[in-house]
Amino acid sequence: MPYDAPPFPISYLTLMIFNLSSMLDSGKHDDISLEEVKQHIDVGDLITFLNKRAEQEADTFDNGFSVVEPTFINWYVARLKDNCEVMDGRERRKYGVESRGLCLLISYTAEIIQGGTGIRPRDI
């Protein structure tokens, strides 16, 4: 789904992927379900939730998601919510994801990038 270009560099989206990947790699968050992620997206407290979970591994996760600008976070969560509404029930078929919420977030973030954000890799 195409989006209006945000007033942010693409590095903000890739930072989200790096942070999510770090959390996933630790193995400490495999219990975060798709349903739990969708619920936090719907409520709008996804980043707060992820930061609390990431605090458990502060030695491997520099500053969590708190380094990202709040205006970006609002835009990002709104895009995630759009993806939830469009993809609900089709995550396995579209992304091959069916059990880990962090994998769903990585896929949704890639979808935002692929959806034509209008951001170029060299934007700063």
pLDDT of 13-42, one tens digit each? 888 898 899 899 989 999 999 999 999 999
pLDDT value at residue 29: 93
C-beta pairs of 34-38 under 8 Å, 24+ apart in sequence: 34/91, 34/97, 34/98, 34/99, 34/100, 34/101, 34/104, 35/101, 36/101, 37/101, 37/102, 37/104, 37/105, 38/84, 38/88, 38/104
Report the C-alpha gap between 24 and 42 in whole angstroms.
21
pLDDT value at residue 107: 94
pLDDT value at residue 63: 54
Token representation of residue 76: 């990002």
For the chain, the average pLDDT equals 81
pLDDT value at residue 89: 84
Domain residue spans of the chain: 10-114
pLDDT value at residue 33: 95
Query: CATH top-level class for 10-114?
Result: mainly alpha
Spans of the chain, pLDDT less than 50: 1-2, 60, 119-124
